[in-house]
Amino acid sequence: MGPAVASVQKVVSMIKAGANAFRLNMSHGSYAMHEEFITIIRAAEKKLGTYVPIVLDLQGPKIRVADFNGLDQLTLIVGREVRLADVSVIKAKKYQISDSLIPVHYPTLAKDVQKGDQLLLDDGLMKLEVLSTSADTVKCVVVFGGTLKPRKGINLPQTTVSQPSMTSKDRADIRFGIEHEVDYIALSFVRSANDVDLVRKYIAKYGGSQPVCAKIEKPEALTNIEAIVAASDVVMVARGDLGVEIPAESVPMVQKQVIRICNRHAVPVITATQMLESMITNPRPTRAEASDVANAVLDGTDAVMLSAETSVGAYPVEAVHYMRQICTEAEKAILSEARSTSQSSGTLQTKEQNTASIAAAASRIADETRVSAIASLSYSGETARLISSCRPRAPIIGITTLKSVARRVSLIWGISGMVVDSVSTTDDIIEEIKSALVADRILPSTATVVFTIGRPLVGRARTNMISIETLAPSQKRES
């Protein structure tokens, strides 16, 4: 979300073009602005009668250049020496900001870096090398120069950053997200599974239940990737900072590795950053961008994400449209292939092995009988997620009594959320869902649907039953 799409009409157009979820970037904008975005998304959702998840993306310990006290920019010249100091130091010692003194938001910079470390500015466009440190300043030489503007990011690929993964700003942003009932919390610069656990505990402390998305953008995260994936509800391959922290040529293989691990754990995964970058200013993507999006889909990603293309770009709806078209073409190739062993045998690495077996069986039945859809009735959306991980050819309808769950499952590959008011007996709820699918014109009355459900419903049992149904009343084929 951003200024370019800050209207109900625009968001409606984006959803119709293929958008399934919206991200609030808490690195930019005020709470008033984000509150307006939430209101717009919910209004568009209601107008279309659909369920759209909102992802609140925390800034995390992002190290940034500070404001320049009236200067528009600083010029860094190759070979020149520059000093960096935290804004608190500059204010206390009344230093003068200039081309040779750069203010930063990083109180422990002088303690964390050492001689020989590299500092990358503005996504690596400029590079400094540390010559020496004092108690409160860092002396560097400019290796790659350029024009530096305020609030640009700083990456330290060779430095162990001492700042915590969840900052005071993040805590305030999480409370804002809970208050406004966002659907996911995305944690930036995750380094270990413990980072994910701390955020989850903080969400629970303030009465929230939002799933946690771990953003992979630090080398330390790659070292701990198996544990991070196992601890997370969703994972994002955030290629922007990741491509600065590690060599750019390593990013494609890291992307494939992370997606493969997520698929094995049945954890939804998002691929993000610069996917259709040229469409910030151009009405069509490049062929290379189309290949990038398609390859992410072929790798097994659940979602692909647009950033500046929609938030500030000139062609936000068109960007969504093209991305959807590329995904559709790539998925035709995936769904026309034979199912792999891992997709069909229920060998996913998950704690809910019985549910995973039901999910795999439902997926196999859908593929073998070519049914129109898989309808999964679940209070938590767990079974729908596991069915999705099997990548069945049939679309998945995640049915629940909670709008929040219907929204959350809509982020996951192949799932559309649907809400029923209440549940009674198993037979009654199946008939009610069948009637609703026909009445809402989701499926024709001749359609055959695989249902997964837990019995007894009143006891909120885990999914333990599969039923194959036609939607015409009283036309059960097989149970």
pLDDT in tens, 302-328: 999 999 999 999 999 999 999 999 999
Q: Do domains 3-61+166-335 and 341-478 have the same CATH topology?
A: no
- Please give the Cα distance from 330 to 55 (Å, whole number): 25
- Please give the Cα distance from 330 to 451 (Å, whole number): 27
**Which of the residues 271, 273, 400, 426 is marked catalytic?**
273
User: In this structure, which CATH number among 1.20.1730.10, 2.40.33.10, 3.40.50.970, 1.10.287.980 belongs to the domain 63-155?
Assistant: 2.40.33.10
The reply to whether 273 belongs to the active site is yes
22 closest CA partner among 57, 59, 60: 57
CA angle 424, 418, 423 (to 5 degrees): 5
Q: Which two tokens stand for residue 302?
A: 């659940």
User: Which range among 72-81, 265-274, 367-376, 406-415 shows the weakest confidence by mean pLDDT?
Assistant: 367-376
Instruction: Give the CATH H-level superfamily of domain 3-61+166-335.
Output: Phosphoenolpyruvate-binding domains (3.20.20.60)
The reply to whether 403 belongs to the active site is no
Query: What sections of 75-167 are H helices per DSSP?
Result: 87-93, 109-112
- C-beta pairs of 162-165 under 8 Å, 24+ apart in sequence: 162/108, 162/111, 162/112, 163/61, 163/63, 163/106, 163/108, 164/61, 165/60, 165/61, 165/189, 165/190, 165/191, 165/195, 165/198, 165/199
Instruction: State the average pLDDT over residues 248-255.
Output: 95
Percent of the chain with pLDDT over 70: 94
Please check the confidence at residue 190 and state whether its pLDDT lies above 90: yes
pLDDT at residue number 458: 54
Contact between residue 366 and residue 335 where contact means Cβ atoms under 8 Å apart: no
Provide the pairing of β-strand 448-453 with 465-470: antiparallel
Buried b (16+ CB within 10 A) or exposed e, 162-179: ebebbbeebeebbbbbbe
Please check the confidence at residue 150 and state whether its pLDDT lies above 50: yes
pLDDT band at 123 (very low <50, low <70, confident <90, very high): confident
The reply to whether 391 belongs to the active site is no
What's the pTM?
A: 0.90
Instruction: State the average pLDDT over residues 55-76.
Output: 92
pLDDT at residue number 427: 81
Tell me the pLDDT tens digit for each residue of 95-104: 989 999 999 9
Contact between residue 379 and residue 452 where contact means Cβ atoms under 8 Å apart: no
**Which of the residues 10, 16, 42, 64 is marked catalytic?**
64
pLDDT, greater one: 425 or 340 = 425
The reply to whether 364 belongs to the active site is no
Q: Which residues contact 205 (CB under 8 A, 6 or more apart)?
A: none
Please check the confidence at residue 351 and state whether its pLDDT lies above 80: no
Tell me the pLDDT tens digit for each residue of 440-467: 888 998 899 999 988 766 556 677 889 8
Give 98's DSSP letter: B
Instruction: State the average pLDDT over residues 132-155.
Output: 94
**Per-chain mean pLDDT for the chain:** 91
**Which of the residues 23, 364, 391, 434 is marked catalytic?**
23
| Strand-pair partners of 230 | none
Neighbours of 24 (CB within 10 A): 26
Q: Which two tokens stand for residue 368?
A: 């073998």
β-sheet with 234-238: strand ranges across = 22-25, 54-57, 184-187, 212-216, 234-238, 269-272, 303-305
Q: What CATH number is given for 341-478 in this structure? A: 3.40.1380.20
The two most distant CA atoms of the chain are separated, in Å, by 81
pLDDT band at 52 (very low <50, low <70, confident <90, very high): very high
Tell me the pLDDT tens digit for each residue of 166-181: 999 999 999 999 999 9
**Which of the residues 62, 127, 215, 339 is marked catalytic?**
215
pLDDT at residue number 475: 45
Contact between residue 271 and residue 263 where contact means Cβ atoms under 8 Å apart: no
- Domain positions in the chain: 3-61+166-335, 63-155, 341-478
